[in-house]
């Protein structure tokens, strides 16, 4: 019960959970399957997590923390807005395409029995770098004076949708497509 040191097992459990979610949704996350996929015993999972709910909630927190970092990868504080915007946008899109299981999880999580909107404030959450960036862009007169929430919803919504379609094979995103998408993104929010 005392949180043990073995981070290897911990990560194996997270990875196993995400893999199962991607394959069959939340309904596919069964504790014995998680254990098997993680290569450990069923009971062992309960050494690392009090119960299934704790596992899921903790997984959410871990993802948020990681995601926050991912968005800012390569970011330099003195970067221009345009450079920063392009970087964050790229980071998000790459992340979205490269880690479908993470977003499969998030999508199922919001709207599952485990997600409690009242205890979650997404403004402060992993998207905050985007919020801050756009606020900066607006103050510099580069971004249209539109409520930031709308701007962010516009940007993330598009990328999320592209990610889903990409995963389903309905849409291939080559280098050219990547540029098209960026062009659309920028056109939609520029002043």
Partner DNA sequence: TATGAATGAGGGTTCATTCAT
Partner DNA sequence: GATGAATGAACCCTCATTCAT
Task: Give the interface with its own copies as residue ranges (CB under 8 A).
Answer: 1-2, 21-22, 24-28, 41, 43, 104, 107-108, 110-113, 117, 122-123, 144, 146-147, 149-151, 153-154, 156-162, 164-165, 168-171, 177, 180-181, 183-185, 187-190
Residue 7 interacts with DNA (CB under 7 A): yes or no: no
What letter would DSSP give residue 50? S
Distance CA 81, CA 55 (A): 38
Q: Are 37 and 16 in contact (CB under 8 A)?
A: yes
Q: Are 138 and 148 in contact (CB under 8 A)?
A: yes
| 34 vs 102 by CB, closer to DNA | 34
Stretch that binds DNA, among 44-52, 81-89, 134-142, 181-189 (CB under 7 A): 44-52
Residue 1 interacts with DNA (CB under 7 A): yes or no: yes
For residue 191, give every residue at least 6 positions away whose Cβ sits within 8 Å of its Cβ, in sequence order, or none. 141, 142, 143, 144, 145
Residues that bind DNA (CB under 7 A): 1-6, 9, 29-32, 40-44, 46-48, 51-53
């Amino acid at each position: 019960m005392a949180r043990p040191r073995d981070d290897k097992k911990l990560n194996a459990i997270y990875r196993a959970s995400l893999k199962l979610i991607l394959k069959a949704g939340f309904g596919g996350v069964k504790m014995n399957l998680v254990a098997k996929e993680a290569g450990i015993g069923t009971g062992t999972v309960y050494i690392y997590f009090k119960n299934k709910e704790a596992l899921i909630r903790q997984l959410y927190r871990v993802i948020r923390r990681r995601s926050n970092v991912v968005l800012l990868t390569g970011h330099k504080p003195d970067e221009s807005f345009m450079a920063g915007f392009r970087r964050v946008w790229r980071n998000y899109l790459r992340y979205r395409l490269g880690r479908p299981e993470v977003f499969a999880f998030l999508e199922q999580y919001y709207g599952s029995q485990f997600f409690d909107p009242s205890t979650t404030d997404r403004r402060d959450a992993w998207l905050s770098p985007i919020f801050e960036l756009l606020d900066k862009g607006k103050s510099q007169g580069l971004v249209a004076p539109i409520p930031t929430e709308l701007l962010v919803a516009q940007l993330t919504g598009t990328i999320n949708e592209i990610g889903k379609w990409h995963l389903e094979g309905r849409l291939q995103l080559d280098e050219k497509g990547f540029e098209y998408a960026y062009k659309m993104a920028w056109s939609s929010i520029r002043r």
